[in-house]
Amino acid sequence: MANLALVLVVFYLLPFFVPVLSSDFDPLLDVEQNYDRNITTTINPNCPQNECVNFTLIHVQQQGRTDVLHHLWTMENIPTFFYARTEINTELIIDWHKMLSGNNSQAISFSKEPQYFAAVLILKFFMYNDLNDTGIIPKMNSYDTVSFSTKKMFWELKSSNYSGNRSASVAFRLANYDGVELDSSSNIEITLTAYGTRGRSPILPHLAFTENSTQIDFIFDRLETKESFTNARLAIELATVVSEPNSRFTLNVSQSLDDEYTPGVFKLMEVHSALNQHWIQWRPVCYTSTKRDIGDSTGMYQTGIRNVTDDDVFENSLLQWLLLDIDMPSLSMNGFNVSFGVEGDGFYKASNYTAWTMVTGHGSPIGDQFSVMVILVMAIGLGLPAVVLILGGVAIALRNHRNSKDDLLLSD
């Protein structure tokens, strides 16, 4: 009887654990171990001492078994977050004389040509007056919209944190715009983090990251809004480019049944290239407090993908500093806007704080999937009633069989 019950339980529960045992499931999502890439980080690599005081270029190497991802992060002119996949033992070469003399075109190269590269750029920040409380950005030429080009922004390196070969993180703070210093009580901060393994961010919305990705966090704290904008909201214009010729990016929205990692949010937004080798991923939620709690959050909107035809994007930016076999301006650049806040949330002034996180990377991102804990809860919740029914049926069958044998004996 006991053995029969055990067999029935295993038979019933096994289908729930098939996802856990399949190749699509990665236990690193729940347990951090077996780092896939070793990380080394350098600020202004090989720059002559004291000559790069007013210049910041971060070089993060993610060393794998068969290749290396070289990340180049800079906030100079246009904030650009670039990565290139190269062969092992490929070196980054920077002509600092050209870089610092102003003749920095093609001053950065690799000892071997990259196998693949991509970049994400921050083109503009927006402040707009949401008169109808829709959360949607009005037309760019509207009187209710003010744009701030990142080319006029000067950023300072606020902090850096290198945890051995496990992760690398740097934070930049906006120091001034068009020569005017930012008020000491205001803060726009951008933090970039690369990891050597797979896992989830420790802060909400707990986005999944891979050993081939970069997490980007934005913070807008106590910003002074335009006095005439009674319903002020904030937005960002992002652009992305890849080494795939004529690549057209696509925006996908996936729905999930599980909000375990991001309570109350069931959507996952993803922009990916035509060959699915480069991607940007985020949850449509931003946070209005440093606590990043579900009670201190609001929604957000994004526009569709469009072509970026402004040639000035390449001028005196990291993309122009790179010497590669592909002519950068010939590549297709795509862009989109994200705006923070939805109808009825009280606008930016309700909290004077907005935080948002996105992840961008190479290869395949981690999609939504149930964790081991959720699978166990589902298996137990659905399995126990079935086991009770099966055992009850077996018990009734045995009792009826025993009663029928007793009736036969009595009749004899």
The pTM of this model reads: 0.82
> Would you say 251 and 238 are in contact if contact means Cβ atoms under 8 Å apart?
no
pLDDT class of 155 with cuts at 50, 70, 90: very high
Q: What is the pLDDT of residue 29?
A: 31
Averaged pLDDT of the chain: 85
Residue 95 to residue 363: CA distance in whole angstroms: 30
> Distance (Å, rounded) from C-alpha 326 to C-alpha 245?
9
Strands 267-272 and 333-340: unpaired
Angle, helices 372-411/2-21, rounded to nearest 10 degrees: 160
- State which amino acid sits at residue 257: L
- Predicted confidence at residue 301, as pLDDT, reads 97
User: Can you tell me the distance from the alpha carbon of 309 to that of 341, in angstroms, rounded to the nearest whole number?
Assistant: 28
d(CA 221, CA 294): 19
Query: Tens of pLDDT along 314-345?
Result: 888 999 999 998 888 889 899 999 999 999 99
Q: Which of 254-263, 308-317, 401-410 has the weakest average pLDDT?
A: 401-410
Q: Which residues pair with 300 in a beta bridge?
A: 340
Mean pLDDT of 51-71: 95
Give the Cα separation of 156 and 154 in Å (integer). Answer: 7
Helix (H, G, I), strand (E, B) or coil at 242: strand
The one-letter amino acid code at 302 reads Q
DSSP one-letter code for 211: T
Q: What type of residue is 5?
A: A
Give the DSSP per-residue string, 322-357: B--SS-GGGS-EEEEEEEE--TTS--GGGTSEEEEE
Confidence (pLDDT) at 23: 35
pLDDT tens profile 268-308: 999 999 999 999 999 999 999 999 999 999 999 999 999 99
Model confidence pLDDT, tens digit, residues 178-221:
999 998 899 999 999 999 999 999 999 999 999 999 999 999 99
Burial class (CB in 10 A: 0-12, 13-18, 19+), 153: buried
